[in-house]
Structure 1
Amino acid sequence: MRAVRLSVVTAAAAAAALTSVTACTAESDAKGGDAIQVTAADSKCDTSAKTAPAGQVTLNIENKGSRATEVEILFPDDRIVSEKENIGPGTKYTLTAEIKAGSYEIACRPGMKGLGVRQKLTVTGGGSAAERNPQLDQAVAQYREYAQEQADATVPLAETFAKAIKAGDLAAAQKAYAPSRVGWERTEPVAESFGDIDPKTDTRADGLEKGQKWTGWHRLEKSLWQDKKIGPAEKTLADQLVSDLKNWQTRVGKAEITPTSMANGAKELLDEVATGKVTGEEDRYSHTDLVDFQANVDGAQKAYELLKPVAAKNDQALTAELDKQFAALDTLLGKYRTGKGDADFVSYEKVTGDQRKGLSDAVNALAEPLSKLAAAVVK
Structure 2
Amino acid sequence: MSRSTLGALALVALVLPLAACVDNDATPAASGAPGRALTVSSTQDACEVSATTAPSGTLTFAVSNDGTDVTEFYLLGEDGLRVVSEVENIGPGLTRDLVVQVRPGTYYTACKPGMVGDGIRAEFTVTDSGEAVGPTGDAADQLAAAEAQYVAYVKDQVGALIAGTQEFADAYTAGDDDEARALYAATRVHWERVEPVAESFGDLDPLTDAREADLEDGQTWSGWHYIEKDLWPPLAADNGGVEYVPLTDAERTKAADDLVGWTQQLVDQVNDPQFTFEAFQIANGAKELLDEVATGKVTGEEEIWSHTDLWDFQANVDGARVAYEVLADVVEGADPDLAATLVERFAALEGLLAEHGSVEKGFTAYDELTAQQVKQLSTAVDALSEPLSRLTAVVTGV
TM-score by length of 2: 0.82
- Aligned partner of 1:158 in structure 2 is 165
Inter-partner Cα distance in structure 2 for 1:209 and 1:186? 26
Q: Is the 8 A contact 2:35 2:54 kept in 1?
A: no
- Determine the structure 2 residue equivalent to 1:284: 304
SS at match of 2:232: helix
Q: Over residues 140-178 of structure 1, what are the superposed CA-to-partner deviations in whole Å (9 max), with x where a residue is unaligned?
A: 121111111111110111111111112211111100111
- Alignment-derived partner of residue 23 in structure 1: none
Q: 2:177 corresponds to which residue? A: 170
Aligned AA (1:120): E
Residue of structure 2 equivalent to 1:128: 133
1:48 aligns with 2:65: no
1:12-35 CA-partner distances (Å, limit 9, x unpaired): xxxxxxxxxxxxxxxxx9837943
**Is the 2:65–2:90 Cα contact (8 Å) retained in structure 1?**
yes
Pairs within 5 Å for 1:25-104 = 31=33, 34-77=36-79, 78-104=81-107
Shift of 1:45: 2.1
Counterpart position of 1:26: none
Q: 1:115 aligns with which of 106, 115, 118?
A: 118
Output the amino acid matched with 1:355.
Answer: Q
Q: Deviations over 1:246-270 (max 9, x none)?
A: 1111012455522221111111111
Alpha carbons of structure 1 residues 293 and 33: separation in structure 2 relative to 1, 3 Å: farther
Q: 1:225 Cα deviation (Å)?
A: 0.8
Q: Name the CA distance, whole Å, in 2 between partners of 1:357 and 1:112.
A: 26
Given residue 289 of structure 1, which amino acid in structure 2 is its aligned partner?
D
In 2, distance between residues paired with 1:35 and 1:377? Answer: 20
User: Number of residues paired by the alignment?
Assistant: 349
Select the residue among 257, 261, 275 that pairs with 2:281.
Answer: 261
- Tell me if the contact between 2:36 and 2:55 (Cα under 8 Å) persists in the aligned partners: no
Query: After superposition, what is the alpha-carbon deviation per residue over 1:225-278, rounded to whole angstroms, capped at 9, x for unaligned?
Result: 116956311232112211110111101245552222111111111111111111
1:304 to 299, 311, 324: 324
Aligned 8 A contact 1:30 1:53 in 2 = no
Give the whole-Å Cα distance in 1 for the aligned partners of 2:260 and 2:34. Answer: 45
CA distance in 2, matches of 1:359, 1:295: 14
- 1:263–1:279 distance in 2 versus 1, CA, 3 Å: same
| Residue range with higher mean Cα deviation, 228-237 or 145-154 | 228-237
SS of structure 2 residue aligned to 1:226: coil
1:327 & 1:246 partners in 2: Cα distance?
34
Q: Verify the 8 A CA contact 1:38 1:46 in the aligned structure 2.
A: yes
Distance 1:231 1:174 in 2: 18
Letter matched to residue 82 of structure 2: R
Partner Cα distance (1:230, 1:212) in 2: 18
For 2:38 and 2:126, locate their aligned partners in 1 and report how far apart those are by CA, in whole Å: 12
- Equivalent-residue separation in structure 1 for 2:389 and 2:116 (angstroms): 23
Deviation string, structure 1 residues 52-108 (Cα, Å, up to 9, x no partner): 333433222221221110011101212100111111011121222332221112211
Cα offsets for 1:324-346 (capped at 9, x unmatched): 21111111111111x561x6211
CA distance in 2, matches of 1:245, 1:75: 22
CA distance in 2, matches of 1:258, 1:123: 19
Secondary structure, aligned partner of 1:115:
coil
Quote how far apart the aligned CAs of 1:347 are.
Answer: 0.9
1:211 alignment partner in structure 2: 218
- For 1:32 and 1:374, the matched residues in 2 are separated by 23
User: Aligned residue for 2:347?
Assistant: 327
Cα distance per residue 1:267-293 (max 9 Å; x no partner) = 111111111111111111111000000
Alignment of 1:179-218 (within 5 A): 179-218=186-225
Letter in structure 1 aligned against 2:58: Q
Distance 2:248 2:354 in 1: 37
Corresponding letter in the other structure for 1:268: E
| RMSD of Structure 2 on Structure 1 (CA) | 2.1
Change in Cα spacing, 1:136 to 1:56, as seen in structure 2 (3 Å) is farther
2-structure distance, mates of 1:147, 1:236: 27
Q: Are 1:231 and 2:278 counterparts?
A: no
Q: In 2, Cα distance between the equivalents of 1:62 and 1:154?
A: 37
Asked whether the 8 Å contact 1:97–1:374 carries over to 2, the reply is no
SS at match of 2:301: coil
Relative to structure 1, is the Cα distance of residues 57 and 316 closer, same or farther in structure 2, using a 3 angstrom cutoff? farther
Shift of 1:120: 3.0
Report whether the alignment pairs 1:360 with 2:365: no
More moved, 351-360 vs 250-259: 250-259
Cα distance change of structure 1 residues 110 and 255 upon mapping to structure 2, 3 Å threshold: farther
The Cα offsets for residues 100-124 of structure 1, whole Å up to 9 and x where unpaired, read as: 2211122111111122223432223
One-letter amino acid matched to 1:117? I
Unaligned runs of 5+ in 1: 1-28
Structure 1 letter corresponding to 2:160: A
8 Å Cα contact 1:69-1:110 kept in structure 2: yes
Percent identity (aligned) = 46
2:121 counterpart letter in structure 1: R
User: Are 2:161 and 2:188, in contact at CA under 8 Å, matched by a contact in 1?
Assistant: yes
